[in-house]
Amino acid sequence: MIEFEFNEPDFLGEDLRLVRQQVRRFVNEVIVPNGDEWEASGEIPRSVFRQLGEMGFLGMRHPVEYGGGGMGALASVVLGEELARSSYGGVASALTVHSDMSIGHIAHRGTHEQKQKYLPDACAGIRVGAVCVTEPHAGSDVAGLKTRAVKTAEGWTLNGSKTFITNGVFGDIYIVAARTDPQAKGSRGISLFIVEKGNPGLKVARKFEKHGWRSSDTAELFLDDLKLPADALLGEEGKGFYYIMSTFQNERLVVGALVSGTSSKAIELTVDYLRNRQAFGKSLWDQPVVRNKIAWVAAKAAAVRALTYQCAQMIDEGKDTVREVSMLKAFGAETLQEVVHTCLQLHGGTGYIIGTPVERMARDSRILTIGGGATEVMLEEVAKRM
């Protein structure tokens, strides 16, 4: 099979080109041969986290002094693209939630003691991270969360529930958002806490069976009189909403990378199929109406990738990216739906069979218009800045 991929940006340094090569080799040698087994079991072996951690790919954005690589946003894009090219969205989601969406809170806002305690093991893949924001009645509306944290003589007591938590069963380090000031309105009065696996007050209520991302565990959690020491508070009290919004920008960047990687793999598989599938005396690729369809979605996918790299550069330059990253999340996730469903259609009946990569990618991609900020919410963020 001839690999289909977009041209490498000229500004991507040799270090990141090497990262791409090494992650792609890992994907082809470890993830692809075992992905079906992980889909069936509903989880990824801890050894996968440790292997990537040993290679230095789970802490690329984190400080060098705590075991990280000290790199920028472009590193997250390269990692996300290559993991998504595996065609196993659940694997890509579990790994990037750990590397880019949970532990990053500690890297950016933790005290020296918190970083020293958690980051080395997280970067090494020894301990797995999860971020616990979404609640049964508060998803994209983060300001509406109801989990409470009450200050006590010993520290804090948390009560509430969290849902749709990636790595919720498998995780070791949970970043939990809770309301510390019940009198504060909306986004005010929310704080973040570090909760460790094994805390008696943290209970896994259920593990979800999902439409897609089947190889990542997703759980509903109960916080039942969960006791925490005072130093479990992450960052400043009452600033949690702003920390979450800041991390959302990176999460949405990673979604752009997942879209780019998934799109390129889906197009690659489809072009290969069309060149080899014979119908009406010639290959499907020789039918202009067919190849024009795949060319059209390839053009849209290339536009998403260009915006992804632009956003990464803006983040690395310290620019405000809320508008552009919101555009990326909305346009990218919706474009991916067109890409994967066009590819499924062009595979004919084969594309509808469970176990074929294009069928799996079509299922896995559906969540990206919802998770991390629904398309409708993202478009409002763009509109407010026009």
Residues with a known catalytic role:
251
Are 258 and 329 a contacting pair, CB within 8 Å?
A: no
Angstrom distance (rounded) from CA 240 to CA 237: 7
For residue 348, what is the DSSP state?
G
Are 250 and 302 a contacting pair, CB within 8 Å?
A: no
Angstrom distance (rounded) from CA 94 to CA 125: 12
Q: How many CB atoms lie under 10 A from the CB of residue 67? A: 19
For residue 216, what is the DSSP state?
S
Are 215 and 364 a contacting pair, CB within 8 Å?
A: no
State the sign of the Cα–Cα–Cα–Cα dihedral 7, 9, 10, 16. negative
**3-class SS of residue 141:** coil
Q: Residues 6 or more apart from 194 whose CB is under 8 A from it?
A: 106, 110, 114, 118, 173, 174, 175, 176, 228, 232, 234
